[in-house]
Every structure is written in structure tokens, then in C-alpha cells.
A and B are shown apart, each in its own frame.
Chain A
Amino acid sequence: MSNSPPRSQPPLAAPPGGAAASLGRPGGSSERLVQLEVLRYNPDTDTEARFQRYEVVCQEEWVVLDALNKIKADIDPTLNYRWSCHMAVCGSCGMMINGEPKLSCHAFLREYEGVIRVEPLAHFPVERDLVTAPDDFMEKLKRVKPYVIPKEKKPISEGEYKQTPAQLMKFRQYSMCINCMLCYAACPQYGLTPTFIGPAALTLAHRYNLDSRDGGRKERQEIVATHEGVWECTFVGACSEVCPAHVDPASALQQMKITSSIDWIVEHLIPGGKSARDTVSREDAGDIS
């Protein structure tokens, strides 16, 4: 579904059939004509979103973000999207590209054929065009207490909390998250049940639980071991497949299900057993069974 063309377009001949075509340039890197279908939404004037088609000449080695930048610079300055680092580090350029959550600075044009459909991240409210509102994710991040809660507080004069390389390796993978929210856009459970704390925030809880300097698991379990926490996860595994930082949130959540189940067994089946969750209500504990 394409809408009226943008106000100004460079005089380019579109190839028949609308497919991206290589426009070889002798001696230099080759160019290609790329068609993008971009979701547009203006909260001041629109009641619903619409797709707008752009045609733009791109270098062969460009990524989708480059194409958007070119559109914004040369064709349509009203197009809105977020980005910063252009090197898959800041996590701000996440979009749905042909239905798949991707960092647009990491989505090479040469990997796509035909019209490339660009939409804002799924499962988040659209603020404007490709810009989504991350408020829900930020709120959930806070709830899991993603910081070291020291086992014992000690004065600075006693020096730093030391950690061996092996202790670091235990959680290192889970500390690589760039908060891009691609995993939330991929997770159907989050889409269907927005109260779900979700992959990245729960994984960060796990990262701190595994940290040898940390003693905050009991506090985090009040969020983690609930219906809104790991028990909402049905292990679709999409989060790990789309994660650009190879964090593997699905593994963190399954590990937390195991530790939370052990807590429940200790708490309910072993006489006098006290688990990390002994401050949690019985109703929530029942979710585990």
C-alpha cells in the first residue's frame, strides 16, 4: 500500500517491477536504486499510520540507516527515526525491516531484494514515524534493580570488591545488552501480554544475580519469579535469535525458571526450608507449580 509520493523526489527512473537494481559505476563502488516502504505516523495530524514509498540511490555497501539518512537529507526532511552510533553499539536504531527486528545500522541493503519495508519496532507505541516510545521498557528495567546490591556493605577504605576472571565469565555474556529492545519486538508474549517484564530486563536481573559481588537475588525474585516475570515466558526463543549482541536472553530466562523452581521446592517441600523467595506471597509462589 503506497501513498502519495513525497514532496520532492530526485529524477530517478525506477526499474520495472520495483526491484532494487544495481547501477554499476565504473571504477567506484557500485550503486543501486533502492525502494523503501516506510511507515509514517504524525501524532498531530494522523489517526492511523500509512506507508510511504521512497526511491533512493544507495551505495552497494550501505545499510538501511544510510538509506534513511539519504532520504532525510535529499528527499523528505520530515522523516523521523532514532540513531546515534552507526556501529551497533548504542542500540537506538532498532526497526522492523521486512518484519524482522533489526538494528538499521546493521541491516545491509545488499541482503534485501525488492521493496524493503521499514516499520517502527513492534509491540511499542509509535511516537512518530519510526520512533517508538520506550517508556515501558525503561520502567521494567528499573523494577529488576539492574545494579550490584552488595552482599555486605563495606567502607571504601577496605578497598574494592574483587572478582576472578572465572566469576566474571559466569555473567559476562548477559552484561553485553545494548538495550536495543529488538528482543521485545520479537517476543510474542510481550506483544500479547504487555505486563510481561520481558527478555532484556529479566536477563539483566540474571546478570546481577550471577555476579559474585551481588546479594540482591532475594529482592529481584519478587519481580522475577512471578507471572509477569519468567513464568510468562513460554520459550519461543525469538529474543535470542534477533539479539544483535548475542546476549541469549532465552537462556537466562530458562536458567531463572530452574532456580525459581528450586526455590519453590525448598520453600514448600523441605520442612523448615527457606528460599530466596521467602518474602514473596504464596499466591505468586503457586505460579511456579
Chain B
Amino acid sequence: MSRRPLVRECPPTTWYFRQPRYLRYMSREITSIFVGAYCVLLVVGLQRLSAGPAAWEAFLLGLRSADSIVFHLLALAAASYHAATWFNATQKAMPVQIGEDFVPGNLISGAHYVAWAVLSAVILYLAGVF
């Protein structure tokens, strides 16, 4: 008997609507757009700084606009979500075995959250926030 298997294609542009978990994955990936946009903003800021005091002041004024504040809030939310997905993944990517047992995954991810909080506090301190 000849074989005539039926191939059912995975829809290339709509596959992520098939399962809520695929939408969660896409939302994680989409946050990288905001992270990328914020990096571009930082580079532009550096370029403005090197262009002299007037250019820098104009840049700072732009940052205080309503649009800029909305963008920063969105970028902060996106970056936080992105970071959380990374930290949650660390327990899978970097398991620590001691003897026959593995260190509980929550401890590994938790350590990353603690390091995140400490580093953020240091940066805010250096920036003169407190």
C-alpha cells in the first residue's frame, strides 16, 4: 500500500493565536522592541551630550515632555517584564547541583532578583536619587 501522508501546515503568521502560551511568548518577545528603543534613546542622549551644553539642555527638555514620560513608563514596564522572564529562566539554564541534590530553582531565580534590586539601588544612589 502506498503512503500518502497528509501534511497540515503550521500557519506562518497566525500560529501564535493557537494557544495562550504562544501569546505569552510573543508578548515577551515584543517587550524587546521597547528595550531596543530605549537603548537608541541612550545613544542619542550621548550624542547630544557630545554636541555641547545647548544640545544637551534641549534633549533634557524633550525628556520632560508628556510623550517622553509615557514612553519611559511603557519602556520601564516592558523592561521589567522582560527581565522577570529572564530571571525566571535562570533556574532552568543554570541549575546548581550539590551532591545528589539540586539547589531549589526559586533560590537561583531569587538571587537574580536580589542582585537586580541591589544594582538598581546602587545606580539610583549614584544618580543622586537618595
CB within 8 Å of B: which residues of A?
Answer: 41, 43-44, 46, 48-49, 99-100, 122-123, 125-127, 132-133, 165-166, 169-170, 188, 191-192, 234-238, 240-241, 248, 250-251, 254-255, 257-258
Contact = CB atoms under 8 A, between A and B. Distances in A.
A191 B5 contact: no
Contact of A43 (B3, B29, B97, B100): B3
Contact of B22 (A43, A123, A236, A248): A236
27 contacts: A43-B2, A43-B3, A43-B5, A44-B1, A99-B18, A122-B10, A126-B5, A126-B6, A127-B5, A166-B99, A169-B101, A188-B15, A191-B10, A191-B15, A192-B10, A234-B25, A236-B21, A237-B25, A238-B25, A240-B92, A241-B21, A248-B92, A251-B95, A254-B93, A255-B93, A255-B95, A258-B93
A118 to B, nearest CB: 14
B8 interface: yes
Contacts of A41: 6
A250 B92 contact: yes
B19 interface: yes
B78 to A, nearest CB: 17
B94 to A, nearest CB: 7
Interface in B80-121: 89, 92-95, 97, 99-102
Contacts of B22: 188, 236, 238
Given A169-B97, A170-B97, A258-B94, A238 B21 contact: yes
A240 B7 CA distance: 25
Given A127-B3, A188-B16, A254-B92, A237 B8 contact: no
Contacts of A251: 92-93, 95
State the 3 A-B residue pairs at the shortest beta-carbon distance, nearest first: A191-B10, A125-B5, A251-B92
A75 to B, nearest CB: 23
B64 interface: no
Binding site secondary structure of chain A: mixed
Nearest to A126: B6
A163 to B, nearest CB: 12
Contact of B8 (A122, A234, A236, A255): A122
The residue among B3, B10, B97 with the most chain A CB atoms within 10 A of its own CB is B10
A192 B18 CA distance: 14
B123 to A, nearest CB: 26
B5 to A, nearest CB: 3
A2 B11 CA distance: 22
Contacts of B89: 235, 254
A133 B8 CA distance: 12
A98 B82 CA distance: 30
B126 to A, nearest CB: 30
A169 B100 contact: yes
Contacts of A132: 5
A238 B15 CA distance: 13
A188 B23 CA distance: 12
Nearest to B22: A188
Contacts of B100: 165-166, 169
Given A126-B5, A191-B10, A236 B94 contact: no
B12 interface: yes
The residue among B3, B5, B25 with the most chain A CB atoms within 10 A of its own CB is B5
Contacts of B25: 234, 236-238
Contacts of A250: 92
Contacts of A166: 97, 99-100
B25 to A, nearest CB: 5
Contacts of A48: 6
B95 A133 contact: no
Contacts of A99: 18-19
A188 B18 CA distance: 10
A138 to B, nearest CB: 14
